[in-house]
Amino acid sequence: MTDQIKARPVALVTGGSRGLGRAMALHLAREGADVVLTYQSRADAAAETVAEIEALGGRAAALPLDTREISGFDGFAAALGAQLSGWGAAGLDILVLNAGIGLNAPVAETGEEMFDTLFAIHVKGVFFLAQRLLPVLKDGGRVLAVSTGLTRFCMPGYAAYAAAKGAVEVFARYLAVELGPRGISVNVLAPGAIETDFGGGMIRDNAQVNAHVAGVTALGRVGLPDDIGAAAASLLMSEGNWITGQRIEVSGGMKL
């Protein structure tokens, strides 16, 4: 039994305490992964997600991380290393770069502070956290960066957010090339509109917006967190590892 536990893949999901991150963490756990998730401020939500994973029979831990604070990445890596060592794990099999924030405003009303916050979290934080964790990633592992459908289709008010995510998509392709010799695949998952509290919960809570999105989606409804969690687990936990450098949109066919 001990050998079977040690053989389980280990995943790190940033921003895994709630929303899409939580859904991905739970689906990875259901498929047999042990999960370390990060949270910024909601320790209570992180603890609930850890408890849910443990109830599924997996191991889970939550570590604090603010992806805007690059100076804290060394300390985070040390804490992650200690957690992995405690589990007897040699490193990470899966890295999901999900942590993010939803801010939106028309171009004419986007201030420098908002712009800098979006790029600090979604671009600078993603780039340098991935860089810092390269030694922890096992050869043959998998990296998944979370983007957005808004890099393909446009909705007014999301220019800065989508531009930041577009930078992540380019970074992921370069990372795929550089990590290819180690057998590590790197892909991007781009969700469409999902019913979560992201961006103030507008898609989830505003019936008119929800109906509009459903009307421009081929499958006829707004996405749910489990749609994204299932897609991530399918990509990250499959036996094959011959998909890399790809942007995979999970939007139900929104604005085709």
Which DSSP symbol is given to 58? Answer: -
Work out whether the CA dihedral 143, 34, 182, 131 comes out positive or negative: positive
Tell me what percent of the residues of the chain surpass a pLDDT of 70.
96
> HSE (CB half, 13 Å, CA atoms) of 51?
6
Residue 198 has pLDDT above 80, yes or no: no
pLDDT at 5: 44
CA 80 to chain centre: 17
3 state SS of 42? coil
Helical (H) or strand (E) element with 212: helix 207-215
Right CATH for 2-249 from 3.40.630.30, 3.90.1210.10, 3.40.50.2300, 3.40.50.720: 3.40.50.720
Closest alpha carbon to 165 in 212, 123, 108 = 123
Spans of all domains in the chain = 2-249
Helical (H) or strand (E) element with 133: helix 125-133
pLDDT digits (tens, 9 = 90+) for 25-80: 999 999 999 999 999 989 999 999 999 999 999 999 999 999 999 999 999 999 99
pLDDT digits (tens, 9 = 90+) for 237-250: 999 899 999 999 99
pLDDT at 203: 81
pLDDT at 176: 98
Report the alpha-carbon distance of residue 99 to residue 133 in Å, rounded.
15
pLDDT at 6: 46
- Supply the pTM of this predicted model: 0.95
Residue 9 has pLDDT above 70, yes or no: yes
Report the alpha-carbon distance of residue 108 to residue 29 in Å, rounded.
43
CA dihedral defined by 187, 191, 196, 200, rounded to 10 degrees?
A: 100
pLDDT at 213: 92
Report the alpha-carbon distance of residue 40 to residue 169 in Å, rounded.
23
Mean pLDDT of 167-194: 97
